[in-house]
Amino acid sequence: MSAQPLRGSRLVIQTLNPTLLPPMARGPSGSSRVLINNLTTSTADCQPIELPVLPPSNEGDIQPNVLEQPCLLLETTPSDAPDDDLVWNSALLHTSDLYTRTLYWDALVAADAVFRISVDLWVLQDWDGEEEVLQLGSYFHVVYLPRSDDEYGVACMCPRWKAAHACIHQDTLCSFIDTLRCLPLIAPFPAPPAVLLQSTPFNDKFIFSCASAMGRYESGKRVVVTLQQDGRWHCHSCRYSDACKHKPHAKAFALEAGLMVNMQDGHQMGATDDAAGDEESAVLVRAAQCGVNLAKHRAISYLPIPPPRWCALPAERATLPLRQVSTNSHFAVEDSLQCVCGLSMPQAVLQGHSGPRVLKTAVLYGLTARRTVSIELLPCPVCCHSRRHIGPDLRDHGIFNWNNTMLFLHKLLNAYTNSYTASETPFSAFYDTFVRVWFAFTRRQCLDSGMQCPTCGSSPDIVIADGVSLGTHVSKLTKSISPPTSVDERSERVDSISSYRARCLPAIPQKDIRTTVNKILDATVTHIPNILPDMSKIDVQYPELSSFIRLYCSNGTNSPYYRTYRDLIQQIAAPDIVLQLIPVAAIEPLQQLRERGNPPNWLQSICPAFGAVINAHVNGQCPIPNDIRNIAGWLAARADDVYTRLAQHEPSPMLQPTSEPWEKTGTCYGLPEIRKRRIYSKLRYDNQGLDRDAEEMGDCNKFYKTYSKNNLTGGILVLCCTHSVCLGFHSIPVAEGRNDVFSAIYTRFLVAPKVIIYDFACQLAPYSFVREARYFQHTRFLIDEMHAHDHTRCGKACFASNAMRFDDRVRAVNTSTAECGNKGIKRIRKSVSFMIHDHAVQYTKVFLDIWNWNTINRIYTMHAK
């Protein structure tokens, strides 16, 4: 039966645990779901979907028997679902129907607009769904990679797929994968840095597919670069930037092929922005001093305030009132009354206090001017002060009542929120009172984003962590600060793991032998010399490695296996923990390779080093040598020994989730705290304030920057998902360390993420495995692409770019997502450094909530295209 289009229904994005989503992002509780090849549909209003079964291909690589959809979970709801639900039309989700896919495929075939670069990578021209034509100048790479014996994954580089893992390119690839695999390759293996796709008579004269990185940091990612009719080069990723790393590949190809004659790119970059700014005024200190005793002095307005329309979700905008600028000159007593002491009108009536009404004058501050108004008040029986009265809230008028004499339009306060989240806008240009009013206003405003992504929830499989140097003065810290790293005398102690058990973690523990292997690699860069460094120690202690090195040398530098063999040897000789190279899930497949010689085709997704070696032999139609099978068995045994030695205890049992006020603790995550950090008493360097000891760091030459300059705290640690949505943050009292990432994940996530991307992941991996090996046994720790260049001594197994070659889920990730957010947070660094801790946390929280809402709105926009 062919796939039936869903009619009379709308689709709702869901995660595996819908209770983790905010109410607006949840589907109706009564809907039933059935899982068909990872595609979940409602059984109420639509026919079940059957995916086609593919016949085996005649190509040399291993082919699937069943076409699998990527892990996208969708739920259908009846078309009369309430409008306030986060419902998305099926057309917007790009889970295209059979008619659209067929129409798109016919257009691709007719225009010859699909290109096969490698056995698992294609380039497709984009589709304009409204006009039902191919979109000029828009091309996207799509990859199809195995995840297990019966599961394949698809990753597309288009913005729509990155927003919700669903697009028409993915659907078309899955529907016509058998035909696509029969297309001839337009590039040799391995693919060169630049591949010419086609030439056109339109604005994009020549269209290239260019590699993002080559050599040590090769990731498999590719970007479309075009040479336009006016002689300018355009990159789909970097636009017209002169700092683009993709365009040089295309330029070199074009020059060599005679497509251009030293044409100069006429585009000039804009001037570099100077980051210099004036110091923040002491106005923040004075505002903090005035607001210390908030329990006795608070704003008159106390009702919840809706978020501004410019950051509200589309479903919320319809419910937000369209308030015009208030022209009233008199405000009478209303039901919602309160005094600065907190006494409300109903409480005063219950206590038998009700005095005569008093008419006072007040000043209303707007965006461009201020004016005098009159306001009715009631005397406060508790304060008994001539200046303290019970006054109206005025929320329905779009006004924030500060103290019955100073009124502020919501638009004015929202305008500052908009300004400081978009660009650096310190408080020094405002009076002390405005600062106090803004903090009181945002405490009442409903800006909380829930710190979770509507697509992947609050506990995604891939988490990106980064420290931000956003610190306050150390003298402003309070005793109530409680980051996830906090321990006390009541904390659970673990004695089953010790520094003695945590030794000898690399594949080759002896540093002198690792040095010898690296000398052999250095001597064989361009040719194989007649005399190699002394290998006697390697022969005695690691005979499997010795045989493999001799196999590598005997083939010579012109061998098609030279590069893959060399990469594998380099990673074996790396100082990183062996579980980075050989994850726990790869131990059994490597043992199978040793015994039978036929590893599963998905081994490459969890062990890229062996995947590259195996693919080289498969593409060369050459059997896998016994030396490789022996080295696979040795590495599997070595990884199993290290894991068994470290996995001495189970994770802590889940506690009753607790929630403490983030304003005081400085810790705010979308997930509640379900565990406490343990004390590992037999580990020498456990839970230290500074994480910079050379012995604990291993051989990595990258150390943490000291954020405690000028007596500032260590900043904050931020976790985010692959969609750039912040999952939470916590304050760092001293300096950033591996303990911050470890504790944030361990205390919040019920199950550890499958991938953690961090700029110091090479040493976060041993830190985490030593303390909680069973909890992190299925987690991969990867260094983001930007920081990988600083890790010259670390193995490629720690690089996200290395995992991208064979894992579609990692390839689709912008590993610098946290760095992008870090750059945005720098706008508030100067202001935060002058604030007290409570204000700094609130200021940061508002910034990240606005960041999340804007990001979620961009996801909506991508779906709407």
pLDDT in tens, 794-821: 889 999 989 998 888 898 888 887 777 7
Contact between 770 and 781 (Cβ < 8 Å): no
* Residue entry with tokens 């209003």: 45
Q: Which residues pair with 305 in a beta bridge?
A: 445
Mean pLDDT in residue range 527-532 = 89
pLDDT band at 641 (very low <50, low <70, confident <90, very high): very high
Q: Which amino acid is at 839?
A: H
Query: Torsions phi, psi of 652, nearest 5?
Result: -60, 145
Task: State how far the Cα of 524 lies from the Cα of 552, in Å rounded to an integer.
Answer: 10
**Which range among 3-7, 389-393, 531-535, 713-717 shows the weakest confidence by mean pLDDT?**
3-7
Are 150 and 38 spatial neighbours (Cβ–Cβ below 8 Å)?
Answer: no
Kind and range of the H or E element at 379?
Answer: strand 370-379
Q: What percent of the chain has pLDDT over 90?
A: 36
Burial class (CB in 10 A: 0-12, 13-18, 19+), 835: buried
Pair 608, 803: CB distance under 8 Å? yes
pTM of the model: 0.78
Residues 614 and 604: beta-carbon distance below 8 Å: yes
For residues 395 and 822, the model is more confident at 395
Is it the case that residue 351 has pLDDT exceeding 70? no
Contact 479, 662 (CB under 8 A): no
Strands 370-379 and 726-731: what pairing? unpaired
Task: Output phi, psi for 726, to 5 deg.
Answer: -70, 130
Residue 710 token pair: 């000028």
Provide mean pLDDT across the span 303-325: 77
Q: How many C-beta neighbours within 10 Å does residue 456 have?
A: 23
pLDDT at 710: 62
Task: Report how far residue 6's alpha carbon sits from residue 10's, in angstroms, rounded to the nearest whole number.
Answer: 8
Task: Find the length of the chain.
Answer: 865
Per-residue pLDDT at 280 exceeds 80: no
Whether residue 285 has pLDDT greater than 60: no
pLDDT band at 288 (very low <50, low <70, confident <90, very high): low
Q: What angle do CA 847, 852, 857 make, to 5 degrees?
A: 130
Buried b (16+ CB within 10 A) or exposed e, 149-174: eebbbbbbbbebbbbbbbbbbbbbbb
Decide if pLDDT at 407 tops 80: yes
Helical pair 626-646 and 761-771, crossing angle rounded to 10 deg: 60
What's the mean pLDDT in 154-158? Answer: 90
Higher pLDDT, 648 or 341: 648
**Quick check: bond before 600 cis, omega within 30?**
no
Q: Which of 10-14, 245-249, 634-638, 827-831 has the highest mean pLDDT?
A: 634-638
State phi, psi for 727 to the nearest 5 degrees. -95, -10
Beta carbons of 99 and 175 less than 8 angstroms apart: no
Cβ-Cβ contacts under 8 Å for 731 (sequence gap 6 or more): 481, 483, 666, 667, 713, 715, 716, 837, 841
* Average pLDDT of the residues in 262-272: 39
State the DSSP H helix or E strand holding residue 146, giving kind and residue range, or none if neither: strand 133-148
The model's pLDDT over 4-58, given as tens digits with 9 standing for 90+, comes to 332 222 223 233 333 333 333 333 333 332 222 333 333 333 333 333 333 333 4
96-134 per-position pLDDT tens digit = 678 888 889 999 988 889 999 998 999 999 998 888 888
Q: Which residues contact 863 (CB under 8 A, 6 or more apart)?
A: 88, 92, 93, 94, 160, 163, 164
Residue 510's pLDDT is: 93
H-state helical runs in 70-202: 98-111, 159-164, 168-175, 177-180
Q: How far apart are CA 92 and CA 101, in angstroms?
A: 14
Hey, what amino acid is at 533?
Answer: P
Q: Which residues of 234-248 are buried (b: 16+ CB within 10 A; e: fewer)?
A: bbbebebeeebbbbe
Q: What kind and span of H or E run contains 122?
A: strand 121-128
The residue type at 562: Y
Report helix angle 738-748 to 761-771, nearest 10. Answer: 50
Q: How confident is the model at residue 354 (pLDDT cuts 50, 70, 90)?
A: low
CA–CA separation, 395 and 682 (whole Å): 58
- Cβ distance 22 to 450 under 8 Å? yes
Of 404-408, 472-476, 536-540, 675-679, least confident by mean pLDDT is 472-476
Mean pLDDT of 728-753: 92
Question: CB under 8 Å to 685, separation ≥6 — which residues?
Answer: 693, 695, 696
Give the span between the Cα atoms of 736 and 727, in whole angstroms.
18
Instruction: Say whether pLDDT at 74 is over 60.
Output: no
* DSSP notation for 329-376: SEE---S-EE-TTS-BHHHHHHTT-----EEEEEEEE-SS-EEEEEEE
Question: In which residue are the tokens 């912008």 written?
Answer: 814
Range of lowest pLDDT (59-68, 187-196, 325-334, 543-552): 59-68
Taking phi over 0 as left and psi of -120 to 50 as alpha, with beta for the rest, 451 belongs to left
Q: Which of 278-282, 319-323, 624-628, 789-793 has the lowest mean pLDDT?
A: 278-282
Per-residue pLDDT at 326 exceeds 80: no
Per the CB < 8 A criterion, the answer to whether 337 and 395 are in contact is: no
- Residue from 160, 764, 701 nearest 463 by CA: 764
Structure tokens at 857: 């709105």
| C-beta separation of 249 from 193 below 8 A | yes
Question: Quick check: 637 and 588 in contact, CB under 8 A?
Answer: no
Looking at every residue in the chain, the average pLDDT score rounds to 79
Contacts of range 49-54, beta carbons closer than 8 Å, 24 or more positions apart = 49/3, 49/4, 50/1, 50/2, 50/3, 51/3, 51/174, 52/175, 54/177, 54/178
Instruction: Return the percentage of the chain with pLDDT > 70, whole number.
Output: 79
DSSP state of 790: G
- The DSSP line for 448-512 is --TT-BTTTBSS-SEEEEEEE----BGGG--TT---TT---TTS-EE-S--TTTT---BSS--HH
SS3 string, 273-323, reads CCCCCCCCCCHHHHHHHHCCCCCCCCCCCCCCECCCHHHCCHHHHCCCCCC
Three-state DSSP class for 47? coil
Amino acid at 292: V
DSSP state of 459: S
Higher-confidence position of 13 and 766: 766
The whole-number pLDDT of residue 414 equals 92
Q: Contact at 8 Å (CB) between 247 and 240? A: no
For residue range 677-707, what is the model confidence (pLDDT) as tens digits? 999 988 887 877 666 544 445 567 565 544 4
